[in-house]
Amino acid sequence: MPGVVVVGSQWGDEGKGKITDYLSSKADVVVRYQGGNNAGHTIEFNNQKYALRLVPSGIFSGNPVVLGNGMVINPKALLEEIKYLNDANINTSKILISDRAHVILPYHLEIDALQEKYRGDKNIGTTKKGIGPTYVDKYARIGIRMGEFVNEELFKERLAEVLPLKKREYPELDFSVEGIFEEYKEYAKIIKPMVCDTALVLDEAFENKKNILFEGAQGTMLDIDYGTYPYVTSSHPGANGVCEGAGVGPVMIDEAIGIVKAYTTRVGSGAFPTEIEGEIANTIREVGREYGTVTKRPRRIGWFDAVVVNQSRRMSGLTGISLMLLDVLTGVEELSICTAYTLDGKVIHALPSTISELDRVQPVLETMPGWSEDITTVTSFAELPENCKKYLHRIEELIKCPIVMFSVGPDRTQTIVLKEVF
Ligand code: IMP
C-alpha cells in the first residue's frame, strides 16, 4: 500500500505539477496537504497547458482528489478553478475537501496586503492570497473551517464572532458580516457536497491497499520552521507536513520524492546564497520560462545548491529526487555547483537559522564543463551527453540521494523515469 509524497525541494516552482501528474496516473487518490492558491502547478500534455492552484494534479486522471485539512482554501478561487477545469472538459466531480481545512475570507487578503505594506522594504513578497493571515487565525483559534463554512447558520455565527476581532486588530478593514455572508454563502452551497472527513477516506484507501499520492506545494526552503525564516510561507511544504495536513500517520509514507531544479530559483524576498545576475541568469530565466505562475513575477536565478537540497533530504527523508529542467542548462559553457557555504570565514554544510547569518553566507562553488547538445528528445540516461551525465552524478553524490527521474522539457513525454515509485 504505497504512500508516496512529492515535495518541492528548493524554493518552490520546481515543476512538481509535472511529476505529480505523471505519478497520479498510477495513484488511486491524490492529496494536497498544505498551502492554498499561492501555489501554481503547470501541467502540459497534448499541446495543452493547464495551471492549477488548489486542485491536486490528479484531477486529470479522473481519480478522487483530496484537499486536506492542512490547506487554506479560498472558496471563490476554488470555484473559479473548477469552472476553468470544466470549461476544458475536465471532470471535477471527485473533489473532496476536508471539513477541517481553513477558509480564506476577503479580510485575510486585505490583511496580507496591509502587512506587506507596513513591513516596507522588509516585506516578505507574499503572493497576497491571504495565506499567512489565514494560518494565523487557525493557530489563534479564530479560523473558520470548511465544516462550519458550509453550514449557513454556523458560518454566520462564526463570522459575527471573528470579524469584530479582526477589525479591532486592523481598523482599516472595511467589511461587514452581512456583506461577506451574502456573497460567500452562495459559494458554500456549491462547495458543500465536496466537504467531508477526508482522513476517513484516506484511512479506507490505505486499508484497501490503494496507491496514495501526497502532493506538496511550494518548496522546503519556504517551510515555516526549516526554511529561510521569516521569508517563508506559513505551512510545511515538505513530507514533514503530510501527517498533520492530511490526517495520516508517518508509517503511511513509503517514498518521499524531492522535486529539484537542475539550477535554483526563488521568487519574493530573502536570502539566496547561489543567486546570479547577468547574461547567464537572463538566459536561464527566458529558456526556463522562469516567471511566477500566480504572480507572473520574474524569478531570481542561481546555481544548483547542494546545501539547500541536503536540508530538504533531511527534513523530508527523501528517498529519491526528480531533476527538472535539465534542458534549460544546455549551452551554458561552465556550470557551477554550490557544495557548502562559508559563514564569517568558516565552512558550514547546513543553512544557519537566522536571516542575518543567511545574508552573510557565501557559496563554495565548484565548476564543471557544460554541454551543448540538444537533450530534449533523449529517452534514457545513456543518451545524455557525457558532461551532463557527470553533472547528474555529482549532484547525486553531493545530496546523498539517487536521481529517480529527470525531465528534459515541459511535455509529459519528456520525463525519463529511472526507477518507478508506485
Ligand atoms: P505566501 O505563501 O503568499 O505567504 O508567500 C510567502 C513566500 O512564499 C513568498 O516569498 C512567496 O513568493 C513564496 N511562495 C508562496 N507560494 C509559492 C509557490 O508556489 N512557489 C514559489 N514561491 C512561493
* CATH number given to 259-417: 3.90.170.10
- Residue of 21, 41, 102, 327 marked active site: 41
Give the pLDDT confidence score for residue 412 in this predicted structure. 84
Cα 252 to Cα 229: distance, rounded to the nearest angstrom: 29
Q: Is the CB–ligand 1 distance for residue 40 below 6 Å?
A: yes
Ligand 1 atom nearest the C-alpha of 131 is 4
Which one of 71, 109, 119, 222 would you pick to mutate in the ligand 1 pocket, going by the greatest count of ligand atoms within 8 A of its CB? 222
- Residue of 13, 99, 112, 327 marked active site: 13
Q: Is the CB–ligand 1 distance for residue 228 below 6 Å?
A: no
Residue nearest to atom 19 of ligand 1 (CA): 39
Best CATH choice for the domain 102-192 from the list 1.10.300.10, 1.10.1370.30, 1.10.20.60, 3.30.230.10: 1.10.300.10
274: which residues sit within 8 A by CB, 6+ positions away? Answer: 264, 302, 303, 304, 305, 336, 338, 363, 365
Q: Is the CB–ligand 1 distance for residue 124 below 6 Å?
A: yes
Q: Is 41 among the catalytic positions?
A: yes
Cα 389 to Cα 97: distance, rounded to the nearest angstrom: 43
Q: What is the DSSP code string of 315-336?
A: HHT-SEEEEE-GGGGTT-SEEE
| 295 neighbors 320 (Cβ within 8 angstroms) | no
| 112 neighbors 128 (Cβ within 8 angstroms) | yes
What is the whole-number distance in angstroms between the Cα of residue 214 and the centre of ligand 1? 19
Q: What is the pLDDT of residues 118-159, one digit of tens each?
A: 999 999 999 999 999 999 999 999 999 999 999 999 999 999
Give the pLDDT confidence score for residue 232 in this predicted structure. 95
H-helix or E-strand spanning residue 108:
helix 106-119
Cα 348 to Cα 328: distance, rounded to the nearest angstrom: 29
Q: Is 21 among the catalytic positions?
A: no
Give the pLDDT confidence score for residue 268 in this predicted structure. 82
Neighbours of 120 (CB within 10 A): 7
Residue nearest to atom 20 of ligand 1 (CA): 12
Q: Is the CB–ligand 1 distance for residue 69 below 6 Å?
A: no
Cα 394 to Cα 113: distance, rounded to the nearest angstrom: 42
What is the residue whose three cell numbers read 547574461?
Answer: 279
Q: Is the CB–ligand 1 distance for residue 125 below 6 Å?
A: yes
Handedness of CA 396, 401, 407, 413 (dihedral sign): positive
User: What are the extents of the domains in the chain?
Assistant: 3-100+195-255, 102-192, 259-417
pTM, two decimal places: 0.95
Residue nearest to atom 10 of ligand 1 (CA): 268
Ligand 1 atom nearest the C-alpha of 270 is 10
What is the whole-number distance in angstroms between the Cα of residue 204 and the centre of ligand 1? 33
The third-level CATH classification (topology) of the domain covering 3-100+195-255 is Adenylosuccinate Synthetase; Chain A, domain 1 (3.40.440)
Q: Is the CB–ligand 1 distance for residue 328 below 6 Å?
A: no
Burial of 308 (0-12, 13-18, 19+ CB in 10 A): buried
**Intrachain domains 102-192 and 259-417 with the same fold:** no
Burial of 263 (0-12, 13-18, 19+ CB in 10 A): buried
What is the residue whose three cell numbers read 506538496?
Answer: 216
Give the pLDDT confidence score for residue 295 in this predicted structure. 79
R_g of the chain, CA atoms, integer Å: 21
Distance between start and end Cα atoms, the chain? 9
Query: Which residue ranges of the chain lie beneath pLDDT 70?
Result: 1
Q: Is the CB–ligand 1 distance for residue 104 below 6 Å?
A: no
| 295 neighbors 269 (Cβ within 8 angstroms) | no
Neighbours of 296 (CB within 10 A): 9
| 310 neighbors 396 (Cβ within 8 angstroms) | no
Burial of 250 (0-12, 13-18, 19+ CB in 10 A): exposed
Q: What is the pLDDT of residues 336-382, one digit of tens each?
A: 999 999 999 999 999 999 999 999 999 999 999 999 999 999 999 99
What is the whole-number distance in angstroms between the Cα of residue 17 and the centre of ligand 1? 16
Cα 73 to Cα 60: distance, rounded to the nearest angstrom: 20
Give the pLDDT confidence score for residue 1 in this predicted structure. 59
Instruction: List Cα–Cα distances, 374 to 205, 230, 332, 380, 388, in angstroms.
Output: 43, 40, 12, 14, 11
Which residues are paired to 305 by β-bridges? Answer: 338
Give the pLDDT confidence score for residue 115 in this predicted structure. 98
